[in-house]
Amino acid sequence: MLQDQYEDSESVWTCALLLATLFQDSMLVQSPAIMRTIPSLASLLKSDKIIDKYFAAQSLASLVSTGSRSIQLAIANSGAVMGTIAMIGQIESTMPNLVAMAEEFKLADNPSKIILRSLFELEDVRTSATARRSIPLLVDLLKPMPDRQGAPLVALHLLTQLAEGSETNKVAMAEAGVLDALTKYLSLSPQDSTETTIINLLRILYTNPDLLYHESSISTSNQLVAVLRLGSRNSRLNAARTLQNLFDSENIRDTEVAWQAIPPLLDMLESGTETEQQAALGALIKLSSGNISKASALFDVEGTTLESLYKILSFSSSLELKNDAAQLCYILFENSTIRASPIASECLQPLISLMTSGSTFVVEPAVRALNRLLDEEYNAEIAATSEVVDLLVSFVPGTNHQLSEACIGALIKLGKDRPNCKLEMVKAGIIEHVLDMILDVPVSVSSSIAELLRILTNNSGIAKSSAAAKMVEPLFLLLRRPDVTMWDQHSALQALVNILEKPQSLAALKLSPSQIIEPLISFLESPSQAIQQLGTELLTHLLEQEHFQQDITTKNAVVPLVQLAGIGILSLQQTAVKALESISQSWPKAVADAGGILELSKVIVQDDPQPSQALWDSAALVLCNVLRYSSDNYVQVSIAVLVRLLNSTIESTVTIALNALLVQEKSKSRCALAMAEAGAVRALLKLLKSHRCEESAARLLEALINNARVRETKVAKYSIGPLSQYLLDPQSKNQSAKFLVTLALGDIFQHEALARASDSVSACRALVSVLEDQPTDDMTMVAICALQSLVLHSRTNRRAVAEAGGILVVQELLLSPNVDIAGQAALLIKYLFLNHTLQEYVSNELIRSLTAALERELLSTSTINEVILRTIHVIFNNFKKVRFSEAATLCIPHLVCALKDGNEAAQESVLDTLCLLKESWPQMNEDIAKAQSLISAEAIPVLQMLMKTCPPSFHERADSLLQCLPGCLTVTILRGNNLKQTMGSTNAFCCLQIGNGPPRQTKVVNNSICPVWNEGFTWLFDIPPKGQKLYILCKSKNTFGKSTLGRVTIQIDNVVTEGVYSGFFSLKHDGGKDGSRTLEIEIVWSNRPSNDNM
């Protein structure tokens, strides 16, 4: 209808005015025809005539005010919104008469504002595209326009209406530049109400997190801070609330503008109403959250922030305000300086009181603030006396995990070094509470629980309690969680270590050994050394149980433990090696296969850092378990390591090391020298000195010293004294070890220079003491041989042996039933008396002993010991006075026997000895010389035989003896041949004469020309007859007298050496030699017969 009458401009606005008046009737607007007018009115808003647009707007304003929701939506969808926006502020400024006419008809002053405000109250409209299209137009109205002065304020209200509850509209406004426009508007210092409206819109907009990072946000913050300083009270309140939103952005919190907000906010906190204080607290909480420097700034600003907070906590009636105050305290107390201030300590009691308020929403910030405040020991001491433990324990259970975590944190701090507090917690049921929730809460809470259990179990009484035993399984299950942190691991492991120091805590454990050990293995490879150490320490406690040792899963722990053992970090090595002690008993092969021999060897020889004695002993024990499992592993251990093991205080360790060294010494020719260079000899000497593993130590020591290259080193010389002391030590009871030590000394003294060493004197005494103890034949032999080496090259050693009583001891050994011992004893005596060093020790008893030894051998074995004979010769040769003794005389018969029955060497020694005696006869007492010569004469037959059978080298000495020994010459006239006479029968007899001596005569054989006399005649000589002849005259006796049948002259010199001279000798008579008449004669030179009357 209005469109049909557009040509009549007067009627258009009149109709619109009429409709505006009619539409004020709520009954009328219910007519269906009303809906048809809406498009016309919306179109009229686009008219070029202001009066038409104005009264069309008035009509629509009446409709939206009295019409139904459907009418309002129809108006919104008609396009009227855009036209209406275009009219905002325009009519009021340019045509006040229209406004007066509207007032006359009781119409609205500002129909555009009514239309838009009513429509925007509809959510469908606010969230529609129409609303979004209107936003840029409204934002443009915020710019100052002289002809539309009221437009900005209306636009502010409408934008506020659109922004509330619609994030899309907020973003659209930001895109349309509303933030920048509002900031600029605010910078113009508008009226207080406008300023408040602007700030309120900004607060709404900045609730959208995306807008916090808008480029205008910082400038907005700057203007808001200015409002905080200079704005009205309402503006400051809204500015604080808006800044609270802006401070959600880290970019804004870190700006200088944010710092500038602190003083006015603190002023508001100190002197504002509770509402203002709450707004200021909200902004300050956001501003300082996570920024310790901001928190410090709050504390340092004049106005005493904490005092204000203390007053709020103590005296405010608003729990919401106290909640915010507690939250800010929580933030501030992150700063150690603030926590340590006196006013902070005064906040303790208000916070505790707030916890008892019964309002759950204030308990959490109060507990969190208290938790941080307890970081200061002074505050913790105060709180510990405030009966807060039970209160905190009561808050732990529940679904508020942040509260639980804060309570547990506070309990941790109260429990440190306060046994009474720990006991209070346990009594209040904290263990039951946390164990019920440990596996279901977030990891941060479980971490705090684990730390609390660690603190509690640091108390030995709690760790040994039945309540602690209940912790074991939950803690192991916690360790199996995939999201468990490294800190959780540390706390849980430490708690378990504390508890499992008492093995009975495992009794009620339902988990299998593999379920427990498997997660522990992963901890052994943790990047944290502390966790590695605790893991190994816990594993050590578990492995004290046999079923844990033998579980197959335990075998999997070997590799990481072995790696830790050689890591070079003492604390880790200590626990890892301790765990391997148990494992190596059940899985020694696994330890070896994992490289355990090498890694443990590193510990044994480790110098930097120096391992403790406990660690060293533990590593040695594990290594020995591996070696004990298989002797094949002996050769895999370096000599240096095995030598170090000899220094162990544990005998089993030393035994294994000795066995391994013995195996290596036998298998590798060069090992002996390497062992000596590694200090094996010194270590072995220490073992002997302490009488530990004596036999094995002595065996290895002897094997080393038996090596010629080792004897050339300094250590061989060093060994003489300790070895000697061992033999002299009355505590040395192990005969096998003493034998080996004696043998070692014998090995050493094979080296001539070592035999001359200064310590060899003590060795002489030691070896003599060995012989005095009447050892076994083997040891006796070794000791004698060692003494031989000692005295052979050193006069000092000879005297040392003598002064130690060695001569008497060796004399006794000459009579040993062991022929070899007797021979070696004799040889030792020979070496002792090779020169005149010991002339005062030469005695008849010594000769008697040698003689007795010689006699015993002759009687018992029918053998001759040429060594004894040579020794006798040496003594007679070097000590002439002995030859004059009775003992020397008594020795001669045995020498003769030895000459008769001995081998060439023995015979030669006897010849030399008898020659020595013979040389001394002229200087001897006549009776002694005669006795010796007579006894020596017993050797004449043997000497004569030697002249015939022995090498030419014997002849001179044998002959010299024959030519001086007394003997007897026996001439035997056997028979005569062809002794006939020309006349008469032959009655033959013979007359014998030597030299000028008296003649001898045979019997007369009558009537026989071949008489048989077989009659001998003996002459005794003190010395053999030299150059003398035997005269034999053969005669016949008859009636007329005696007639001579012939004579024989025989030179008897040769018979002395030949012994027997016999044959047929032709008789000579005055007419010459008659070859037909002969006498058979035998001439014998022999020793003096026993019957002197012969």
553 found inside a domain: yes
Tokens encoding 485: 């942190």
pLDDT of amino acid 8 = 53
DSSP readout, 211-232?
GGGSTTHHHHHHHHHHHHHHS-
Give a yes or no: residue 355 inside a domain: no
- Cα–Cα distance between 438 and 423 in angstroms, integer? 20
pLDDT tens for each residue of 999-1046:
999 999 998 989 999 999 999 888 888 888 899 999 998 866 678 889
Alpha-carbon distance values, 1080 to 205, 581, 968, 977, 1008 (Å): 170, 104, 20, 8, 15
Torsion angle in degrees (nearest 10) through CA of 147, 149, 153, 155: 0
Strand order of the sheet with strand 1072-1086? 1000-1001, 988-994, 1029-1038, 1041-1051, 1060-1069, 1072-1086, 967-977, 1012-1021
Tallying the residues shown for the chain, one arrives at 1094
Among residues 1018, 897, 911, the alpha carbon closest in space to that of 955 is found at 911
Report whether 878 contacts 833 (CB < 8 A). yes
- pTM for this entry: 0.62
Lowest-pLDDT range of 122-136, 353-367, 524-538, 667-681: 524-538
Beta carbons within 8 Å of 311's beta carbon, 6+ residues apart = none
Q: Encoding tokens for residue 1063?
A: 């044959």
Question: If you average pLDDT over residues 171-189, what whole number do you get?
Answer: 87
Rounded to whole angstroms, the Cα distance separating 1051 from 1053 reads 6
Distances (CA, A) of 311 to 1, 92, 330, 386, 1086: 72, 52, 16, 20, 147
Ramachandran sector of residue 417 (left: φ over 0; alpha: ψ -120 to 50; beta: rest): left
Per residue in 682-698, pLDDT (tens digit) is: 999 999 999 998 999 99
Q: Quote the pLDDT of residue 331.
A: 84
Better-scored residue on pLDDT, 716 or 1074: 716
Pairing mode, strands 967-977 and 1072-1086: antiparallel
Q: How many separate domains does the chain show? A: 4
Residue 267 domain-assigned?
A: yes
Beta bridge partners of 1015: 973
H or E stretch including 133?
helix 129-140
By the 10 Å C-beta count (0-12 exposed, 13-18 middle, 19+ buried), 444 is classed as: middle
Q: Per mean pLDDT, which range of 129-133, 281-285, 547-551, 741-745 is the poorest?
A: 547-551
pLDDT at site 291: 66
- CB atoms inside a 10 Å sphere around CB 1012: 12
- What is the torsional sign of CA 368, 369, 370, 375? positive
Residue 426 has pLDDT above 70, yes or no: yes
In a domain, 170, yes or no: no
Q: How many CA atoms lie within 13 A of 1017 on its CB side?
A: 20
Domain end (from 606, 622, 648): 606
Bond preceding residue 209 cis, omega within 30 of 0: no
pLDDT digits (tens, 9 = 90+) for 963-990: 888 999 999 999 999 988 877 788 999 9
Q: Are 1000 and 992 in contact (CB under 8 A)?
A: yes
- At residue 729, φ and ψ (nearest 5 deg) are -70, 120
Using CA atoms, how far apart are residues 534 and 497, in angstroms rounded to an integer? 7
| pLDDT of residue 100 exceeding 60 | yes
Identify the band that residue 409 occupies on the pLDDT scale cut at 50, 70 and 90.
very high
pLDDT tens for residues 867-904?
888 999 999 899 988 889 888 899 989 888 888 888 88
Angle at 777 between CA 773 and CA 782, to 5 degrees: 85
β-bridge pairing 1000-1001 and 1012-1021: unpaired
Distance CA 514, CA 476 (A): 12
Q: Are residues 114 and 5 in the same domain?
A: yes
Tell whether the model's pLDDT for residue 414 goes beyond 60: yes
Q: Which residues pair with 437 in a beta bridge?
A: none
- For residue 294, give the H/E element and its range: helix 292-300
**CATH code at position 992:** 2.60.40.150
Sequence-separated (6 or more) residues with CB below 8 Å from residue 898: 854, 858, 864, 869, 906, 907, 909, 910
Residue 981 sits in the same domain as residue 1068: yes
Strand partners, 1070: none
Judge whether 1081 lies within some domain: yes
Which of 79, 105, 128 delimits the end of a domain? 128
pLDDT tens across 1033-1062, in order?
A: 999 988 666 788 899 998 888 888 888 888
How is residue 980 written in tokens?
């006939």
Domain with 235, as residue range(s), is: 203-289
Cβ-proximal residues to 823 (8 Å cutoff; 6+ apart), any chain: 865, 867, 868
Please answer whether residues 415 and 422 qualify as being in contact, where contact means their C-beta atoms are separated by less than 8 angstroms. Answer: yes
Which residue type, as a one-letter code, is found at position 831? Y
User: Does 112 share its domain with 218?
Assistant: no
Q: Is residue 219 part of a domain?
A: yes
Q: Spell 964-997 as b/e; 16+ CB within 10 A means b.
A: bbbbbbbbbbebbeebeeeeeebbbbbbbebeee
Which residues touch 600 (CB under 8 Å, ≥6 apart)? 562, 565, 566, 577, 580, 619, 622, 623, 626
Cα–Cα distance measured from residue 4 to residue 12, given in angstroms and rounded to the nearest whole number: 9
Q: How far apart are CA 712 and CA 215, in angstroms?
A: 91
Using 50, 70 and 90 to split pLDDT, how confident is the model at 722?
very high
- Look at residue 281 and tell me if it is in a domain: yes
Query: Is residue 484 classed as helix, strand or coil in its secondary structure?
Result: coil
Residue 414 lies in a domain: no
pLDDT digits (tens, 9 = 90+) for 634-658: 888 888 888 988 888 888 889 998 8
Last residue of a domain, one of 606, 630, 661: 606
Q: Is the dihedral of CA 657, 658, 660, 665 positive or negative?
A: positive
Return the residue matching tokens 């012939």: 1046
pLDDT at site 1071: 60
**Highest mean pLDDT pick, 9-23, 448-462, 1033-1047:** 448-462
Partner residues linked to 1064 by β-bridges: 1080
Q: Give yes or no for residue 1089 having a pLDDT over 70.
A: no
Please report the pLDDT score of residue 290 as a whole number.
65
Distance CA 1081, CA 1065 (A): 7
Helices (H) and strands (E) in the chain, counts: 67, 8
Residue 566: enclosing H or E segment and its boundaries? none
Tokens (6 digits) for 512: 């299998």
* pLDDT tens, position by position, 232-241: 888 888 888 8
In contact, 890 and 851? CB cutoff 8 Å: yes
